[in-house]
Amino acid sequence: DSGVTQTPKHLITATGQRVTLRCSPRSGDLSVYWYQQSLDQGLQFLIQYYNGEERAKGNILERFSAQQFPDLHSELNLSSLELGDSALYFCASSPSGTGGTEAFFGQGTRLTVV
């Protein structure tokens, strides 16, 4: 158990809908990352937050947004969903936001858009 909790584990929704994925980082970790894993794109970095502020952005679509709350949990919001958004979404956390610390991953949320 990595200590990172993601909910829900599975989500099935229709095209055009909006969903929210939730992540609770490991105790003491200030940085949260979101990654998307799909068959065609592999594991792609979406966005990073550190202590409530956005730190870095990857190839995150404009239809996607995220935030980190004062209690350090994070949410990833996906809207106007398309079939191609079906993927495994991972949250990871690390103590600092720097490259030298390992990130621990949650079990992921498997999103299926039908």
Partner 1 sequence: AQKVTQAQTEISVVEKEDVTLDCVYETRDTTYYLFWYKQPPSGELVFLIRRNSFDEQNEISGRYSWNFQKSTSSFNFTITASQVVDSAVYFCALSGNNAGGTSYGKLTFGQGTILTVHP
Interface residues with partner 1 (CB under 8 A) are 2, 31, 33, 35, 42-45, 48, 50, 55-58, 88, 90, 92, 94, 96-108, 110
Nearer to partner 1 by Cβ, of 70 and 99: the residue is 99
Instruction: Please report how close the Cβ of residue 22 comes to partner 1 at its closest, in angstroms.
Output: 17
Minimum distance of partner 1 from residue 58's CB (angstroms): 7
CB within 8 Å of 12: residues ≥ 6 apart = 112, 114
Rounded distance between C-alpha atoms, residue 52 and residue 40, angstroms: 31
The sign of the CA dihedral 22, 46, 1, 97 is: negative
Q: How far is the CB of 31 from partner 1 (least distance, A)?
A: 6
